[in-house]
Structure formats: C-alpha cells, structure tokens
C-alpha cells in the first residue's frame, strides 16, 4: 500500500498525498471498515471477511480467502476488472463505502502441521487452526476440531501442542513467521484457499470529493498495482519454498481424491446460501458464468517449455 500511494502521489503531481498507516496505528485491527464508513479513515485495504458480519457469506465471494475450491488469483482479477466483480462489489457495499479495486494474492499453503493430512481420514480428531467456510467444512464433513486463533498466537499454540495443524497464508508470507521451526510438514496444494485477496475501499464522501480525473488515476493505479502485487507474491512464494526445502521441511501432497471431496463439500456448503439468499445467488451465478468462459482458453496453452 505504501508503494502504491507513493506512486499515486507522483503521478497525481502531488494532488493526492496520502499517509499510509499500519494496522492498529489509528484504529484497532479489523475495525478499518467501520473507520472508513465513519470518515476516521479516508480509505483502507481490508480483507472481505470484515464484511461477513454485515453482509453474510456473500461478502467472501469478492476475493475472500478461505474459499475452498474457489477462484484462482487471475480469475479473481479478471472477474473484477473485465467482468462484473467490481460493479457487483459496489452494489453490495454501496451503503458502506466505495470499492476502488481489488488486490489478489497467491494460493495459501494447505497447512503447516505435525501430522500428515493427505486423506479425509487423517483429519478426524485433529486440532486445526482456521476459520470461515473452510473451518465449517472441516468441522462438519471431516470431524476436525477447529480452533480460532489470531495469526500472532499461532506459533506459540503449535509449539505447545495446542494445535496439530494450521493454515495461514502463502509461502512467502509464512516464511518470516518461523512456522518451520515448530512443525514437521507442509501440505500442498492450497485447495482450501486458491486465491484470496483484499479490497481497497474509500469513504464515500471523500471519494466523491475527488475530481473525475483523480478518480480515474487512482482506479488505474490500483488496477496496475493488483497485477504487480500478484506477480511479486508468485516470486516471493517460490523463493520461500526453496528455503523450506533447504531447511529440511517435509512436503506432502493432498490426494486428488481428497481435493475432489473438498471441492464437492464446498459446493454443497455454498449451495445452501444460494438457496437462502437471492443476492448471494446472483453474485455466485455471475462469478461462475465468468469463470466457465474464462477457463475455455486454457486448452490453447502448451504444457511444456524449453525451461522445464
């Protein structure tokens, strides 16, 4: 965010000179969305989970993490910027804030753990730190004991054996957290969270006070930044994966059977929201239709390169 707003300051010729503050400097963490509505903050970068208490699970369809079998980062970016994602986000959140854009990240590691979780049977009775849809699916379909913990408490809980496994973020984000020091295994792929991200939201009055040229400039810079951030995530994740292997962490792969089962259970889990909430169904159907067309191009892409 700091890099983004430094660039906006330069490209706007200093007409927008925003100060960027980290979590907790002005308002408590996870309260940024309220502060934007109230005008305490002019804008914020937030995870869509902050809106679940206001709008329900449909909030998580807009690039939320912990969406098992959900969109990839590129599918999310495409839906937001060439599909209807940004328009639908503003329809949903319009009474709260203006959604300026979306920033995506890469797939999360399936887990750090002290037990291998390769099949459905391996989950039964384990203590797993997670939340949201993935937590509900683990609890209801796999007999897992789900533990809710903020990120800052994960290391100590795993070290003391209070949890057997946990998910957090992607490899590049997790490496500095030191999780490899207190766990034996890393599971891949991140089928539980293929590509989350966050929204840049702005206070409605502050946004409307901007002239149209500055609105367009900010929107364009946010869009470009979204693609840059994603590419940086990919490279940083790759570097971190090499570090994990050099450290001696053992990797295991979630079986194809379990991956298919997770996707099927996630579809069933989300179907109940489609049945109960017409607005959820509208967003879901739009996203599903876009991805079904977007994915058709994949058959043209070659599977081999001279660098393999």
pLDDT means over runs of 10, the chain (308 residues): 95 96 91 96 92 92 92 95 98 97 94 95 95 92 93 94 96 96 97 93 98 98 95 96 98 96 97 97 98 95 93
Instruction: Report d(CA 145, CA 125) in Å as an integer.
Output: 6
Answer yes or no: is 293 within a domain: no
163 and 224 fall within a common domain: no
What is the value of pTM for the model shown? 0.93
Instruction: Report d(CA 236, CA 172) in Å as an integer.
Output: 5
139 and 7 fall within a common domain: no
Per-residue pLDDT, 2: 93
Handedness of CA 295, 301, 304, 308 (dihedral sign): negative
| Overall number of domains in the chain | 2
92 and 212 fall within a common domain: yes
Q: What's the maximum distance between 2 C-alpha atoms anywhere in the chain?
A: 59
212 and 99 fall within a common domain: yes
Q: By C-alpha distance, which of 1, 57, 58, 54 is closest to 30?
A: 54
Composition of the chain by helix, strand, coil, percent to 5: 55, 10, 35
Answer yes or no: is 294 within a domain: no
Handedness of CA 231, 52, 100, 41 (dihedral sign): negative
Instruction: Report d(CA 86, CA 133) in Å as an integer.
Output: 22
CATH code of the domain in which 126 resides: 3.40.190.10
Per-residue pLDDT, 203: 98
Q: What is the domain range of residue 157?
A: 111-192+248-264
- For the beta carbon of residue 94, count every other beta carbon within 10 angstroms: 11
23 and 154 fall within a common domain: no
94 and 37 fall within a common domain: yes
């Amino acid at each position: 965010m700091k890099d983004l707003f430094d660039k906006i300051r330069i490209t706007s010729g200093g007409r927008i000179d925003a100060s960027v503050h980290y979590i907790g400097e002005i308002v408590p963490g996870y309260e940024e969305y309220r502060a934007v509505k109230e005008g305490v903050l002019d804008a914020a970068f937030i995870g869509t989970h902050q809106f679940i208490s206001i709008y329900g699970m449909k909030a998580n369809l807009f690039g939320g993490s912990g969406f098992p079998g959900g969109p990839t980062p590129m599918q999310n970016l495409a839906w937001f910027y060439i599909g209807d994602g940004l328009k639908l986000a503003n329809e949903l959140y319009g009474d709260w804030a203006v959604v300026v854009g979306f920033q995506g990240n890469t797939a999360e590691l399936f887990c750090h753990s002290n037990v291998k979780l390769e099949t459905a049977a391996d989950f039964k009775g384990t203590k797993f730190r997670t939340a949201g849809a993935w937590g509900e699916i683990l609890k209801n379909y796999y007999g897992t004991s789900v533990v809710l913990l903020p990120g800052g408490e994960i290391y100590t809980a795993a070290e003391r054996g209070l949890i057997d496994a946990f998910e957090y973020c992607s490899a590049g984000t997790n490496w500095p957290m030191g999780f490899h020091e207190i766990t034996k295994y890393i599971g891949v792929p991140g089928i539980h969270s293929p590509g989350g991200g966050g929204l840049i939201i702005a206070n409605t009055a502050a946004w409307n006070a901007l002239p149209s040229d500055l609105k367009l400039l900010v929107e364009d810079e946010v869009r470009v930044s979204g693609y840059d951030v994603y590419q940086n995530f990919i490279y940083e994740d790759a570097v971190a994966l090499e570090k994990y292997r050099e450290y001696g962490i053992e990797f295991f792969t979630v079986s194809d059977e379990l991956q298919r089962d997770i996707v099927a259970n996630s579809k069933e889990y989300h179907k109940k929201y489609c049945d109960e909430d017409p607005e959820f169904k509208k967003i879901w159907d739009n996203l599903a239709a876009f991805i079904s067309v977007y994915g058709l191009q994949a058959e043209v892409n070659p599977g081999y390169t001279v660098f393999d």
